[in-house]
């Protein structure tokens, strides 16, 4: 009998061995959080591989880091999603829907153009590989008098609602959010912690948008149960509503490792507006803070607390900072920037417990070292909100299992965003949630859209340093060919990774002026000579 495989149900990391690991080296949970990976595949609905696209006309600006699109006359000063400046925006002209679609017979990519494309942007095939597809009228307008209920108040829910309305002008659309405020940019919560920012600026969509789109938004009410056979949703307020299609965009919660005394006063996670408000109030009486977790969100929280004037320490159990997004030199340069900003870094250590009488006073490491703290923020990953799906009887794993159409195992119920598990992965990124929400909304309207994964960049702007990382970055055997430039005096680092003469990954620290070019080049699988010509010209 072969070696068994085990998956951590918290962080999704997989391991081989006759028995599960005693402790997960990624998120530090015990063996009881592991499940054996069986050979049999989970059953999910079949997927039609042909994608239909609908695009509205108009001028817009696209953030090349997170793909957020803004319909404005002038380029935004900063992206409210990922925080990059205007230099990382590109102007795009969105063309109206064509009556003709061209299908690449090599990779099945569908392109809406009047003229046959010269080259396929996906596989590189020439125009001879395309065949003309006449659109059916039913795919242009899918107006039906039916009701679509969307559970959740994040970007996945908003994108789903917008997609439904783009296809169906007659549908009744209802978004149900448990939070008492309008849907907002969660990516800006750390900035909201210390910056002079209004709640109005945090809103994903202004109040008028819901009115113009004829979308009903219910806030401050929680879905307690779903009767799938009867197609009814019951809310904590006692209200019931029926649906024809249901979209679960229930998001995620912060994962809190099993740390003793984590319930002490002064211990927080930052996932919602309420969390941020609680930290803003509590921090007024604090001088020292510890952030448990050195990922991007943890570093952003540490920087926010430092900006508030606190003495801040970051605890990271891995041997270096951002080991999956940076190589060793990149991690070292980032750590140096963090330390220069006045934040202490503890690497390769594990928290044993927290100490305090009613409220936290220190963090105790496994080896006995005490780090004094009036406030602790735990940033150790996410847990998908899947319980509602479990109660319905939908197939779940780490999240709610979906196929490429964002369909669940239950007819007429879709899932998207942080709550969804696609091909064994829960991504937990804003841009992924946005795209999955769009796919779910289109298909709930009767379309035939297919979600396609895209290489997502890491963007960080804090600790007085900027960095961008995308694609394969040499932490394994892949991409052994690279070009590296480093200026330690200016704290500038650039590294490009190639495989078979194609750009596969890039790291930029300090100077990110070529970020837009490299992000595009990695996604386009650009030739080495072409990339170098753009970077060093």
134 and 93 within one domain? yes
Residue 45 domain-assigned (yes or no):
no
Residue 49 domain-assigned (yes or no):
no
Task: Let me know the angle formed at the C-alpha of 210 by 205 and 211, rounded to the nearest 5 degrees.
Answer: 135
Q: Which of 109, 139, 169 represents a domain boundary (last residue)? A: 139
Q: What is the pTM of this model?
A: 0.78
d(CA 425, CA 384): 11
388 and 371 within one domain? no
d(CA 157, CA 217): 11
Q: Which domain holds residue 76?
A: 58-139
241 and 341 within one domain? no
- How confident is the model at residue 133, as a pLDDT? 74
Question: Looking at the 3D structure of the chain, how many domains does it have?
Answer: 5
395 and 368 within one domain? no
Return the structure tokens found at 142.
């899918």
122 and 81 within one domain? yes
The three state secondary structure string of 98-119 is CCEEEEECCCCCEEECCCCCCE
- How confident is the model at residue 50, as a pLDDT? 33
Q: Which of 356, 380, 404 represents a domain boundary (last residue)? A: 380
Residue 31 domain-assigned (yes or no):
yes
473 and 519 within one domain? yes
Q: Measuring CA to CA, which residue among 296, 294, 289 is closest to residue 311? A: 289
Residue 277: Cβ-neighbour burial (10 angstroms; 0-12, 13-18, 19+): middle
d(CA 5, CA 39): 9
d(CA 418, CA 156): 8
d(CA 350, CA 22): 14
- How confident is the model at residue 41, as a pLDDT? 42
Residue 260 domain-assigned (yes or no):
no
Q: What is the dihedral of CA 480, 482, 487, 492, to 10 degrees?
A: -90
342 and 290 within one domain? yes
Q: Which of 105, 139, 173 represents a domain boundary (last residue)? A: 139
104 and 89 within one domain? yes
388 and 250 within one domain? yes
C-alpha separations of 264 from 103, 152, 358, 455 in Å = 59, 29, 6, 40
387 and 250 within one domain? yes
CB atoms within 10 A of CB 510: 18
Residue 453 domain-assigned (yes or no):
no
d(CA 380, CA 376): 12
- How confident is the model at residue 528, as a pLDDT? 94
DSSP codes joined into one string, 204-259: SS-HHHHHHHTEEEEES--EEEEETTTTEEEETTS-EEE-SEEEE---EEE-----
- How confident is the model at residue 118, as a pLDDT? 76
Whether the CB-CB separation of 250 and 386 falls below 8 Å is answered with: yes
Q: In which residue are the tokens 């109206």 written? A: 96
Task: Provide the 3-class DSSP secondary structure of residue 9.
Answer: coil
> Which CATH number do you get for residue 476?
3.30.390.30
d(CA 123, CA 367): 53
Strand partners, 345: 314
Return the structure tokens found at 445.
């309207």
C-alpha separations of 131 from 96, 110, 137 in Å = 21, 10, 19
Average pLDDT across each block of 10 residues of the chain; the chain has 537 residues. List them in order.
71 75 68 70 39 41 75 77 78 57 50 67 51 55 86 97 94 97 93 88 92 96 97 97 98 96 97 96 97 96 97 97 94 96 97 97 97 98 97 98 98 98 94 96 96 92 94 73 91 94 95 91 94 88
Residue 436 domain-assigned (yes or no):
yes
Query: For residue 530, which phi and psi values (nearest 5 degrees)?
Result: -65, -45
405 and 339 within one domain? no
Residue 41 domain-assigned (yes or no):
no
107 and 96 within one domain? yes
Sequence-separated (6 or more) residues with CB below 8 Å from residue 16:
3, 4, 5, 6
> Which CATH number do you get for residue 249?
3.50.50.60
Task: Provide the 3-class DSSP secondary structure of residue 125.
Answer: coil
C-alpha separations of 476 from 83, 316, 327 in Å = 30, 21, 10
């Amino acid at each position: 009998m072969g070696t068994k495989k085990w998956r951590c149900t918290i962080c999704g990391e997989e391991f081989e061995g006759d028995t599960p690991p005693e402790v997960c080296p990624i998120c530090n949970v015990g063996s009881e959080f592991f499940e054996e990976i069986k050979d049999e595949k989970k059953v999910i609905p079949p997927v039609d591989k042909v994608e239909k696209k609908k695009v509205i006309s108009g001028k817009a600006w696209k953030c090349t880091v997170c793909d957020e699109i803004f319909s404005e006359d002038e380029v935004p000063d900063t992206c409210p999603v990922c925080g990059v400046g205007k230099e990382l925006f590109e102007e795009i002209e969105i063309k109206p829907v064509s009556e003709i679609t061209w299908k690449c017979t090599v990779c099945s990519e569908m392109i809406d153009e009047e003229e046959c494309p010269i080259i396929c942007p996906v596989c590189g095939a020439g125009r001879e590989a395309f065949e003309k597809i006449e659109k059916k009228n039913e795919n242009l307008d899918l107006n039906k008098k039916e009701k679509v209920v969307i559970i959740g108040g994040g970007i996945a829910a908003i994108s789903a609602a917008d997609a439904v309305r783009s296809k169906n002008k007659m549908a009744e659309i209802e978004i149900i959010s448990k939070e008492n405020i309008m849907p907002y940019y969660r990516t800006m919560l750390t900035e909201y912690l210390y910056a002079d920012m209004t709640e109005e600026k945090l809103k994903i969509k202004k109040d008028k948008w819901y009115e113009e789109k004829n979308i009903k938004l219910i806030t401050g009410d929680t879905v307690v149960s779903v009767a799938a056979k009867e197609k009814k949703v019951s809310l904590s307020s006692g209200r019931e509503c029926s649906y024809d299609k249901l979209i679960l965009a229930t998001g995620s919660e912060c994962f809190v490792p099993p740390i003793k005394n984590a319930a002490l006063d002064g211990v927080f996670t930052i996932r919602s507006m309420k969390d941020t408000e609680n930290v803003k109030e509590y921090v007024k009486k604090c001088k020292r803070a510890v952030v448990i977790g050195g990922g991007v969100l943890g570093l952003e929280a540490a920087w926010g607390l430092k900006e508030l004037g606190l003495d801040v320490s970051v605890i990271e159990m891995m041997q270096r900072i951002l080991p999956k997004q940076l190589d060793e030199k990149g991690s070292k340069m980032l750590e140096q920037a963090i330390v220069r900003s006045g934040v202490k870094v503890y690497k390769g250590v594990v928290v044993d417990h927290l100490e305090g009488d009613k409220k936290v006073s220190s963090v105790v490491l496994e080896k006995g070292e005490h780090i004094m703290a009036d406030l602790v923020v735990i940033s150790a990953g996410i847990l998908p909100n899947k319980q509602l799906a479990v109660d319905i009887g939908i197939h779940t794993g780490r999240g709610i299992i979906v196929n490429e159409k964002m369909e669940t195992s239950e007819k007429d119920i879709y899932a998207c965003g942080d709550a969804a598990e696609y091909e064994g992965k829960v991504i937990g990124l804003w841009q992924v949630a946005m795209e999955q929400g769009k796919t779910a909304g289109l298909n709930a309207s009767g379309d035939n859209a297919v979600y396609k994964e895209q290489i997502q960049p890491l963007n960080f702007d804090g600790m007085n340093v900027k960095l961008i990382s995308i694609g394969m970055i040499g932490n394994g055997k892949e991409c052994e060919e690279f070009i590296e430039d480093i200026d330690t005096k200016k704290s500038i680092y650039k590294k490009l990774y190639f495989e078979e003469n194609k750009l596969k990954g890039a790291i930029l620290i300090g100077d990110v002026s070529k970020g837009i070019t490299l992000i595009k080049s990695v996604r386009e699988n650009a030739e080495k000579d072409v990339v170098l010509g753009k970077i060093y010209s």
